[in-house]
Chain A
Amino acid sequence: MTQKFRLENGGLINRDKKLSFKFNGKTYYGYEGDTLASALIANGVHLVGRSFKYHRPRGFFGAGVDEPYAIVQLYRNNETEPNIKATEQELFEGLEAKSVNCWPSVNFDIGAINNFLKIFLPAGFYYKTFMWPKSFWYRVYEPFIRKAAGLGVASTKHDKERYEHKYEYCDLLIAGSGPSGLASAYAAAKNGARVILAEDKPRFGGSLLTSDVNIGNQSGEDWANSIISELKEMPNVVVKNRSQVFGYYDHNMLVMSEKVSDHLPKTKKHHPKQRLWYIRAKEVLISSGSIERPIVFGNNDTPGVMLSSAAKEYLKVYGVLVGKNPLVFTNNDSGYETAIEFNKNGINPIILDSRVNPQSEIIDEAINLGIKIKFSHVVVAAHGYKKVSSADIAKISDDKKQLGTIENIKCDCICVSGFWTPTIHLASQSGNKTKFKEEIDAFVPGTSKQNETTLGAANGIFTLEETLKDSFMAGQDLSKKITNKDNKISFPTVVEKKSSQHDKFWCVPLPKGKSYKRFLDFQNDVAVSDIEIALKEGYRSIEHVKRYTTLGMATDQGKTSNLNGLQLVSDIENKVVPAVGHTTFRPPYTPISIGAIVGREVGKHSKPTRKSPMHSWHEKNNAVFVDAGVWLRPRYYKQGNENLFEASKREAKNVRTNVGVCDVTTLGKIDIKGPDAAELLNRVYTNAWLKLPVGKARYGVMLREDGIVMDDGTTTRISENHYHMTTTTAQAANVLSHLEYYLQLVWPELNVNVVSTTEQWAGAAIAGPKSRKLLEKLFPNNNVSNEGLPFMGYMESELFGVKARIFRISFSGELAYEVNVESAYGQFMWEKIIELGQEFQVQPYGTEALSTLRIEMGHVAGSELDGRTISYDTSLEGLISKKKDFIGKRSLNREAFTSSDRQKIVGVVPLDKKTSIPEGSHLVKDAQAPLPNKKLGHISASCWSVEHDNPFSLAILKDGKNMIGEKLFVMSPLKNKVIPVEIVSSHYVDPKGERVRS
């Protein structure tokens, strides 16, 4: 294929490097430096997609981020990405793209029948039609609409690309590298400020690349290049292309998406695909420029109708003609620049200018070049299905209401300019209250809320000289305040053509008897008639009109449609545009990939993994791990072909008959020191703490102020003013914050320090009837007899030369100890326990056996202390001191907390002693009762009791105290189970607690 629409020379592309690419399966060629859009246009391809609602043919409308039409499915390096704008995607060798929203093909699309049904698809069509009957929505309407609508298909494969996040601080962040961005960056950089200059396109320079101006003695483009090369050399400046500043958040934090590798066939090794920058800037300069807005006329969505600035950009940057027989339709001087550019390349355009008799330098130039100009003329409608082939044009009356005789002229493209809309998104996101500027018929930033300044076209200033002056000054002044340096820069002479006033005209009236669709929003197919209907139906607020008609709601977020939409609403309502107001600008300015937002926090990196010092031993010994918060804990140690059930039963059984060892390093540990430490504990726990002797541990329960149990654990008095507190694994961080809250804010008079020592100590629980024998072997020099180290006793010792703490505490209900050593010796301790325990048949046990042991003992854990239970519910009311006040005590006399049939923990055993009870099941009186069947309680934890060899569960049951011996039913609709059960005491093993004291 030849590139029929490529000029012989010109443009900023690299003609030495030809690239091949595929579009809809067909191979084409372009050049390095092309976008997919410019390369397709060079090959004469103008049909790239179908519209969202009516499936009308879609071509190219813009040349950048504002593009509403040319959205493609991209294929790169065996991956696919939807919703890529062809106008932004740079061409690379081997690129493949396909049209979206069309079936079976872009040339023959069945959905286009909607185009002929369009009178039946007015604004709010979906709301009106598919609401009834209600049950049809999920089953019939929604799947159908989903299939018919939508843009592109997301990949279901794992994304192998890497995305990075980066945090950066700077003095000045400058968004946009057009004239204002370059000038302000240069001035600020010369004053030594730390500057980040961001440009969303691959090339720096913005409008300077396409406008016919001189700065100093250089062309605009050369000047831009010289400034950029100088900035790149400066150590205090970061210059980034392909980087879109898309969000302006609180406290001057902006987020920028850098497309590091999207323009390459394949991401380089060790490079990310994209990088998200979180930038905290002292000052922000918004130099985001402006976007040309269309004039609305009949069939103005036909491929070949495009913005005049885009046509000029394709010519000047890419050396590509959007057509060989162009019509330029304008209400201002910008259209003339495009026409002159066509003329320079041997093409003869016709200009239709809605103005009566405008005069300016550039118009004179066009006249002198012999370009045909028709004043007071407009395009009434475009004709042609897949590309413009002709246009109906007519003279328009001075009041813009009457059309003259309609004449049809041949053309292959219509370049439209309806003047310029400043890109105020970032300023508005920062909280700036925008204002309407009458002279340019558009909103501009008003009073700054954060440290932001908007410059140049984004601020509604369209002359180069004024833009440069403002921007040099802004860069200089703002940096001076930060760096205290003041380098004067001589202002260059600027040569530019003066423009005349634009015409406020924006919408061509319909000729009598014609009902052409006149589109406002090109991506969502919102036409003038849709807005009219919405207003007729009573929608007034622009926010409601937007949502009802979907104006400005597509992936381009109405960059080319919003202002015309406001014009229309204000015309119909007989209001001025500022009285209608604009919808809220929200980040992101342009779609950002999910990958970039997530960054490196994927898979196992989504959260940190904490491992105990004994982890590698567990791994070597076939531990199967489970996530416990961020910790990895052994769930069970697999022997042979055992499954979870068999292994945990074996491990638990071994604890009950011999001795087991469990890694309890993950328990929260808090070191508490100070003369008032006992007083703090006394206020934090529900039981009494003032008389706990040194060398003794005590179990305690702490409440929240609302009386709900917060956490439990043992605390040991190490010495006079020194305590060691343990918390559950899950609540460790919360408990520490809780203590700090009371010490710092509520009772600052208490002289106590708290610090987390969770990671400083490795812990091993040694449990079982033979645990004392094992302990004797581990600590041969200590008296660990029942008298020497009684239940809840504490002792410091040495484990073969390693400092160790021994606590006689039990979670399993067996005679048990917990040994702590410094983390570095954790593995040493563990191996010693295993080695010396061989003669007592020691076995490691995991969290599953740990749960089994505590459940059948009736010890509560996280599943009972679930943020809804009080001490009474979990049978911990015996630990409530009547003599002293503590956190949450005042809440305990609430009516609900003291009612006589209050819920309480009970044990549950299936009548057949065989059927396992699913956790979370409900307890009911009558399994056959009609729905809603009254729930009496729920199963909080289930196990297979190794003591009794049958299933056993704990439940929180209404009036549990008086329910022992009752027969109820456990129901699990989720697992489709109904199990008859008996309610028993929650202490299913050793109810008198003799073993722990033996």
Chain B
Amino acid sequence: MLHIKCPYCGMRSQNEFSYGGDASVKRPELNKEIPDEEWDNFVYNRKSLRGKHLELWQHLFGCRQWIKVERDTATHEIFNTYKADEEIS
């Protein structure tokens, strides 16, 4: 079971969180004309990469904040966690 540092609540067990997928995905702006391909990439296409992955988790049974977690998908090592609006260097 992973041990995730919520930027608001501190170290918590994985079972307090729910997984939210790739954090680098940006929703296209509302009311903007975009090609099908761009929309498909947003809705359907995800990389399944091995290694460092920036992903979303929600602290469901805690502060309910969506946070960003930088995790290695192969080793499960967590390098860092960020608030949703935090700049990632």
Q: What distance in Å separates the Cβ of B73 from its nearest Cβ neighbour in chain A?
A: 12
Bound Cα distance from A744 to B1, whole angstroms: 26
Query: Which single residue of chain B is at the shortest CB-CB distance from A707?
Result: B43
Bound Cα distance from A740 to B18, whole angstroms: 13
Residue from the list A249, A252, A278, A737 in contact with B58, Cβ < 8 A: A737
Known: A737-B18, A740-B66, A891-B43. A746 touches B27 (CB 8 A): yes
Bound Cα distance from A745 to B22, whole angstroms: 12
Known: A449-B75, A740-B58, A890-B39. A280 touches B3 (CB 8 A): yes
**A746: B residues at CB distance < 8 A:** 27
Q: Is B42 part of the binding interface, using a Cβ–Cβ cutoff of 8 Å? A: yes
**A890: B residues at CB distance < 8 A:** 28, 34, 39
Q: What distance in Å separates the Cβ of A191 from its nearest Cβ neighbour in chain B?
A: 23
Q: What distance in Å separates the Cβ of A577 from its nearest Cβ neighbour in chain B?
A: 26
Residue from the list B18, B30, B60 in contact with A885, Cβ < 8 A: B30
Known: A449-B75, A741-B66. A250 touches B43 (CB 8 A): no
Q: What distance in Å separates the Cβ of B38 from its nearest Cβ neighbour in chain A?
A: 9
Q: Is A142 part of the binding interface, using a Cβ–Cβ cutoff of 8 Å? A: no
B66 and A745 form a contact (CB under 8 A): yes
The 0/1 profile, CB within 8 Å of B marked 1, for residues 880-899 of chain A is 00001100001100000000
The 0/1 profile, CB within 8 Å of B marked 1, for residues 743-779 of chain A is 0111010000000000000000000000000000000
Q: Is B2 part of the binding interface, using a Cβ–Cβ cutoff of 8 Å? A: yes
Q: Is A511 part of the binding interface, using a Cβ–Cβ cutoff of 8 Å? A: no
Residue from the list A250, A885, A891 in contact with B1, Cβ < 8 A: A250
Residue from the list A431, A706, A737, A745 in contact with B75, Cβ < 8 A: A431
Residue from the list B3, B65, B78, B84 in contact with A252, Cβ < 8 A: B3
Residue from the list B30, B34, B60 in contact with A737, Cβ < 8 A: B60
Q: Is A65 part of the binding interface, using a Cβ–Cβ cutoff of 8 Å? A: no
Q: Is B87 part of the binding interface, using a Cβ–Cβ cutoff of 8 Å? A: no
B43 and A253 form a contact (CB under 8 A): no
Bound Cα distance from A280 to B75, whole angstroms: 18
A885 and B2 form a contact (CB under 8 A): no
Q: Contact residues of B with A, CB < 8 Å?
A: 1-3, 13, 18, 20, 27-28, 30-31, 34, 39, 42-44, 56, 58, 60, 64-66, 75-76, 78, 84-85
A253 and B1 form a contact (CB under 8 A): yes
B3 and A253 form a contact (CB under 8 A): yes
- Additional pairs, 5, CB under 8 Å, beyond known A744-B66, A745-B56: A250-B1, A253-B1, A737-B58, A741-B20, A885-B31
A891 and B39 form a contact (CB under 8 A): yes
Residue from the list A250, A683, A741 in contact with B30, Cβ < 8 A: A683
Residue from the list B30, B39, B65 in contact with A744, Cβ < 8 A: B65
B2 and A250 form a contact (CB under 8 A): yes
B84 and A278 form a contact (CB under 8 A): no
Q: What distance in Å separates the Cβ of A748 from its nearest Cβ neighbour in chain B?
A: 6
Q: Is A251 part of the binding interface, using a Cβ–Cβ cutoff of 8 Å? A: yes
Bound Cα distance from A250 to B73, whole angstroms: 12
Q: What distance in Å separates the Cβ of B47 from its nearest Cβ neighbour in chain A?
A: 18
**B28: A residues at CB distance < 8 A:** 890
Q: Which of A107-123 contact B (CB under 8 A)?
A: none
Query: Which single residue of chain B is at the shortest CB-CB distance from A280?
Result: B3
Known: A737-B18, A744-B84, A885-B31. A251 touches B58 (CB 8 A): no
Q: What distance in Å separates the Cβ of A40 from its nearest Cβ neighbour in chain B?
A: 40
Q: How many A residues touch B, CB cutoff 8 Å?
A: 23
Q: What distance in Å separates the Cβ of B18 from its nearest Cβ neighbour in chain A?
A: 7
**A683: B residues at CB distance < 8 A:** 30
Residue from the list A705, A740, A884, A891 in contact with B64, Cβ < 8 A: A740
**B43: A residues at CB distance < 8 A:** 705-706, 891
The 0/1 profile, CB within 8 Å of B marked 1, for residues 686-710 of chain A is 0000000000000000000110000
Query: Which single residue of chain A is at the shortest CB-CB distance from B4?
Result: A251
Please name 12 pairs of A and B residues whose Cβ atoms are closer than 8 Å in the assembled complex, sorted by A: A249-B1, A250-B3, A250-B76, A251-B1, A251-B2, A252-B3, A253-B1, A278-B1, A449-B75, A683-B30, A891-B39, A891-B43
Q: Contact residues of A with B, CB < 8 Å?
A: 249-253, 278, 280, 431, 449, 683, 705-706, 737, 740-741, 744-746, 748, 884-885, 890-891
A251 and B3 form a contact (CB under 8 A): yes
Ordered nearest first, which 8 A-B pairs have the shortest CB separation?
A: A251-B3, A885-B30, A885-B31, A250-B76, A744-B66, A744-B84, A746-B27, A890-B39
**B2: A residues at CB distance < 8 A:** 250-251
Residue from the list A250, A278, A705, A748 in contact with B85, Cβ < 8 A: A748
Bound Cα distance from A686 to B84, whole angstroms: 27
Residue from the list B1, B34, B76, B84 in contact with A748, Cβ < 8 A: B84
Bound Cα distance from A252 to B75, whole angstroms: 13
**A744: B residues at CB distance < 8 A:** 65-66, 84
Bound Cα distance from A438 to B42, whole angstroms: 54
Query: Which single residue of chain A is at the shortest CB-CB distance from B83?
Result: A744
Q: What distance in Å separates the Cβ of B57 from its nearest Cβ neighbour in chain A?
A: 11
Bound Cα distance from A706 to B34, whole angstroms: 15
**A250: B residues at CB distance < 8 A:** 1-3, 76
Bound Cα distance from A744 to B39, whole angstroms: 21
Bound Cα distance from A765 to B17, whole angstroms: 35
**A884: B residues at CB distance < 8 A:** 31
**A705: B residues at CB distance < 8 A:** 27, 42-43
Q: What distance in Å separates the Cβ of B75 from its nearest Cβ neighbour in chain A?
A: 7
Bound Cα distance from A732 to B31, whole angstroms: 28
**A252: B residues at CB distance < 8 A:** 3
Bound Cα distance from A891 to B65, whole angstroms: 28
Bound Cα distance from A885 to B32, whole angstroms: 9
Query: Which single residue of chain B is at the shortest CB-CB distance from A743?
Result: B66
Bound Cα distance from A252 to B77, whole angstroms: 11
**B65: A residues at CB distance < 8 A:** 744
**B64: A residues at CB distance < 8 A:** 740
Query: Which single residue of chain A is at the shortest CB-CB distance from B68?
Result: A745
Bound Cα distance from A683 to B31, whole angstroms: 11
Query: Which single residue of chain A is at the shortest CB-CB distance from B67?
Result: A744
Q: What distance in Å separates the Cβ of A683 from its nearest Cβ neighbour in chain B?
A: 7
Bound Cα distance from A280 to B11, whole angstroms: 11
Bound Cα distance from A740 to B20, whole angstroms: 12
Known: A278-B1, A280-B3, A449-B75. A745 touches B31 (CB 8 A): no
Q: What distance in Å separates the Cβ of B83 from its nearest Cβ neighbour in chain A?
A: 9
Query: Which single residue of chain B is at the shortest CB-CB distance from A742?
Result: B27
Query: Which single residue of chain B is at the shortest CB-CB distance from A449?
Result: B75
**B58: A residues at CB distance < 8 A:** 737, 740-741
Bound Cα distance from A431 to B77, whole angstroms: 11
Bound Cα distance from A706 to B27, whole angstroms: 12
Bound Cα distance from A683 to B29, whole angstroms: 12
Query: Which single residue of chain B is at the shortest CB-CB distance from A894?
Result: B36
**A740: B residues at CB distance < 8 A:** 58, 64, 66
Q: What distance in Å separates the Cβ of A549 from its nearest Cβ neighbour in chain B?
A: 30
Bound Cα distance from A683 to B85, whole angstroms: 21
**B75: A residues at CB distance < 8 A:** 431, 449
Bound Cα distance from A740 to B84, whole angstroms: 11
Query: Which single residue of chain A is at the shortest CB-CB distance from B20?
Result: A741
Q: What distance in Å separates the Cβ of A132 from its nearest Cβ neighbour in chain B?
A: 38
Q: What distance in Å separates the Cβ of B1 from its nearest Cβ neighbour in chain A?
A: 5
Bound Cα distance from A744 to B83, whole angstroms: 10
Query: Which single residue of chain B is at the shortest CB-CB distance from A704?
Result: B43
Bound Cα distance from A252 to B20, whole angstroms: 24
Bound Cα distance from A706 to B42, whole angstroms: 10
Q: What distance in Å separates the Cβ of A707 from its nearest Cβ neighbour in chain B?
A: 9
Q: What distance in Å separates the Cβ of A951 from its nearest Cβ neighbour in chain B?
A: 40
Q: What distance in Å separates the Cβ of B34 from its nearest Cβ neighbour in chain A?
A: 7
**B13: A residues at CB distance < 8 A:** 280
